[in-house]
Structure 1
Amino acid sequence: MVFNSERIQIGISACLLGEKVRFDGGHKASQYCKKELKPHFDFVPVCPEMAIGMGAPRKSIRLIRDNENLYVRSQDGSLDVTDKLVEFSSNKVKQLDFLGGYILCAKSPTCGMERVIEYQMGSNNGTKVGVGVFARALMEQYPHLPVEEEGRLHDLRIRENFFTRIYAYHDWSCMQLSGVTKHKLIAFHSRYKYLLMAHSPKHYRLLGPLLAEMPENIDLFSQTYLAKFMAILKVKATRKNHTSVLQHIQGYFKKHLTKAQKKELSDMILKYHQGLQPILVPITLINHYLREYPSEYIENQVYLNPHPESLKLRYAF
C-alpha cells in the first residue's frame, strides 16, 4: 500500500477489529474502533502470530528473559518463535511507512506497547517491563509515528492527544510528499503555533530560534524539526495552557468586539479554566466571531480545528 493524502491509514492489531486470531481462537473486538473510528480512517490490520503461521487456536506464548536474552516461547518451552517473530517484525514494519498512526492490543507479547509481562527463565515470576516484539520494531522504525494501545483510548485526554498527533503527523506527511521547502516549513510552524503552545509553551519557544538558523540542507533539518514537533504534541495539553492560548486568540478581537461580546468571551474562557464547561464552548464562540470578523492568521491556526468535530474529542475537558 502507499500513502493516501486524502484518507489517513491506521495500523491496528487484527484482533481489535473482531478477527478471530487470538491464541484461543477468539478476538478482542473494540466497538470504539469498529464503530466510532472506522468512518474516519482506513484500517490496516496485522497479527504477527498468524502471519508467521501459528494458526488459531494455538499455544499461548510469552516473553521470557534469560539474562540479556529475550525469547518468545510457550510456557512449557516446547515452542520457540523468537526468530520467526523478529524476522517478520523487521520485514513488516518496513512496509508500513504510509501509516498515520497505529493502535495496538495491550499485554500482547507481540503487540503490547508497554508493561508486557517478562517472565524469568524457568519460572512463573514476571515483571511488567516488556514491549511486544512487533510493537518494539514498529516504534524503533518510526519513532515519531503516533502509537497507542486500544485500552488507553478510554482515557479521554489520552484519546484526544493521540488523534491530535495523528492529524498533525498526516499533515506533515502531506507536506513532505509535496516537497519540504523553507517557506513551507515556516508556514507549517506558523499554523501550529497555538496548538504547540497549548501542549508546551516552553518547548514551543525553543523552536523559533531553531527555525531562524535553518541550514541549507532542508531535508536533514526537517527531520530534526519533526522530532521536536511530535515530542511537543506528545505532551498532554493542560487546562492552564489552553486558557493562555484562548486569551491570546481573544486579543485579536479586541478592536472588533463590543463590550458585551468581550465579556461573554472572557466569561466562557474563565468557565473553561474553572472546569465548568468543556473547551469546545469558548472555541465555538471564537469560530463564530471569526465568521463576523475574519482574521486569516487565526483562521489558519490548526488549534481551532485539530481534528474533525465528528470524532467528539473536545467535549470531555
Structure 2
Amino acid sequence: MDTVIKVGISTCLLGERVRYDGGHKRDPYLTDILGRFFTFVPVCPEVECGMPIPREAMRLEGDPASPRLMTQRTRVDKTEQMTSFCDDKIRLLAREELCGFIFKKDSPSSGLHRVKVYNSGMPSKNGRGLFAAAVVKAFPLLPVEEEGRLNDPDLRENFIESVFTYSRWKTFLKSRPTFGGLVEFHSNHKLLIMAHSPSIYREMGSLVATGKGIEQPELFRRYEELLMSAMAHQATVPKNTNVLSHIMGYFKKELSAMEKAELLEIIRQYHEKLVPLIVPITLLKHYCLKYDQSYLLRQYYLSPHPSELALRNHA
C-alpha cells in the first residue's frame, strides 16, 4: 500500500518475550493478517520503563480512577516509575502519527477495559492500565482496542474501519488541504459516516455547509473531532440497512422491476441476519458499475478497507 498506516501495539502480541514470566502472547491474526496492512509500533511499558525480564507480577490497587501499580509479593510501588515513562513515551508517540492502538487485555499497564483493581484485597473489574489510560487521555480521537475484543467480528470491523478512516484523514491534512478538498473528503465519506452515526452525520453536514465562515484550522479541528466521534459508534445492522436502502434510491429510475425486487430481497435478508453485509454490497457495486453511478463509486462505504480482510463476510 502507498500510505504507511502506523498502529501502536503491545509488544508481547507480536511474539516478543517481554512478559513478566518471560513469555509472550503472540496473536496470529494481528501478526499474519493485520501485519500485511499496518506498520506496528510496539510498546512494552514495563520493559521500556526499566523493569527486568522476568519480573515480579504486578497489579493495580486503590482508587480505580487513580490506582497505584504495586508488585504483588514484595509490595513495591511502581506507580511513579510507570507514570514517568508514560509522560516521555507519549511525547515520542506524538511524532509517530499513529492511526490506532491495540492493547493487551487485563494488563495493569496496557489493559484498556475492565482491568482488576484491588481494594482491601478485593478485586473489581473497573480499571484501566496506566499506560493505556495515558494514551487515551493524550490521543482522545485515536481508535483503540484490546486484542481479546478483536475476536468479536463487529468490534474488529469497527476498529479497523476507524483506523483506515483516520489514516485517510491524516493523509488529507498532509496534502495542503483546502476547503474544497474538505468538501470532497466529506462527500466521499458521507455514507460511511451515516452508517456509524446518523446524528453526527447531520451535524457534520451542517459544519461543512457553513465551513467557509470558519477559520480553516478550527474548521479542520472540529471536523476531525466529529469524524472520529462518529466512527467510534458501531455500524449496526439497522443502520447499515438504512444506508443500503438510501443507496438503492439512487437507482430508482434505472433498475428493472426484477432487479429492484432482487435488491429489496437481499437487503431484507441482510436485515434479518440471513446473509452477511458483503452480499448486498457486492450487488450494489455491480449496479454502480452497470449504471455508471460515479458518485456512489467514490463512496468509501462500499470499500472502506481492503477486501482481503473479509470484514463484512460474517452474518
Shorter-chain TM range is over 0.9
Match of residue 308 from structure 2: 310
Residues 83 and 210 (structure 1), Cα distance of their counterparts in 2 relative to 1, 3 Å cut:
same
Percentage identity across aligned positions? 42
Query: Per-residue CA shift, 1:247-284, capped at 9, x if unaligned?
Result: 11112222222222222222211111121111101110
Question: In the alignment, is the contact (CA less than 8 A) between 2:288 and 2:294 conserved in 1?
Answer: no
Question: In the alignment, is the contact (CA less than 8 A) between 1:93 and 1:137 conserved in 2?
Answer: yes
Pair 1:107 & 2:106 matched: yes
Question: In the alignment, is the contact (CA less than 8 A) between 1:94 and 1:141 conserved in 2?
Answer: no
Question: In the alignment, is the contact (CA less than 8 A) between 2:196 and 2:239 conserved in 1?
Answer: yes
Match of residue 180 from structure 1: 177
Match of residue 225 from structure 1: 223
Distance 2:276 2:158 in 1: 15
Match of residue 35 from structure 2: 38
Match of residue 124 from structure 1: 121
Please list every run of at least 4 consecutive aligned residues from structure 1 whose deviation after the TM superposition is greater than 6 angstroms: none
Query: Per-residue CA shift, 1:77-122, capped at 9, x if unaligned?
Result: 54222112111111112222311111000111110112111122xx
Bigger mean CA offset, 146-155 vs 33-42: 33-42
Distance 1:41 1:63 in 2: 31
Distance 1:94 1:188 in 2: 29
- Tell me by how many angstroms 1:295 deviates: 1.7
Mapping 1:79-228, distance limit 5 Å: 79-97=76-94, 98-120=97-119, 123-214=120-211, 215-228=213-226
The TM-score normalised by the length of structure 2 is 0.94
Pair 1:12 & 2:30 matched: no
Match of residue 272 from structure 2: 274
Distance 1:66 1:188 in 2: 44
Structure 2 residue runs without a partner (length 5+): none
The TM-score normalised by the length of structure 1 is 0.93
Pair 1:285 & 2:283 matched: yes
**Which residue type is aligned with residue 190 of structure 1?**
S
Distance 2:81 2:215 in 1: 40
Question: In the alignment, is the contact (CA less than 8 A) between 1:107 and 1:117 conserved in 2?
Answer: yes
Mapping 1:242-281, distance limit 5 Å: 242-281=240-279
**Which residue type is aligned with residue 55 of structure 1?**
P
Match of residue 62 from structure 1: 59
**Which residue type is aligned with residue 29 of structure 2?**
Y
- Tell me by how many angstroms 1:181 deviates: 2.1
Distance 1:144 1:211 in 2: 19
Distance 2:2 2:89 in 1: 22
Question: In the alignment, is the contact (CA less than 8 A) between 1:105 and 1:150 conserved in 2?
Answer: yes
Residues 274 and 8 (structure 1), Cα distance of their counterparts in 2 relative to 1, 3 Å cut:
same
Residues 66 and 33 (structure 1), Cα distance of their counterparts in 2 relative to 1, 3 Å cut:
closer
- Tell me by how many angstroms 1:7 deviates: 2.1
Distance 1:126 1:243 in 2: 42
The one of 17, 22, 26 aligned to 2:19: 22
Residues 62 and 5 (structure 1), Cα distance of their counterparts in 2 relative to 1, 3 Å cut:
farther
Residues 58 and 312 (structure 1), Cα distance of their counterparts in 2 relative to 1, 3 Å cut:
same
**Which residue type is aligned with residue 45 of structure 2?**
P
Distance 2:147 2:160 in 1: 12
Match of residue 232 from structure 2: 234
Distance 2:75 2:209 in 1: 59
Distance 1:132 1:10 in 2: 18
Distance 2:128 2:218 in 1: 30
- Tell me by how many angstroms 1:233 deviates: 1.3
Question: In the alignment, is the contact (CA less than 8 A) between 1:239 and 1:273 conserved in 2?
Answer: yes
Distance 2:178 2:134 in 1: 31
Bigger mean CA offset, 141-150 vs 245-254: 245-254
Structure 1 residue runs without a partner (length 5+): none
- Tell me by how many angstroms 1:151 deviates: 0.1
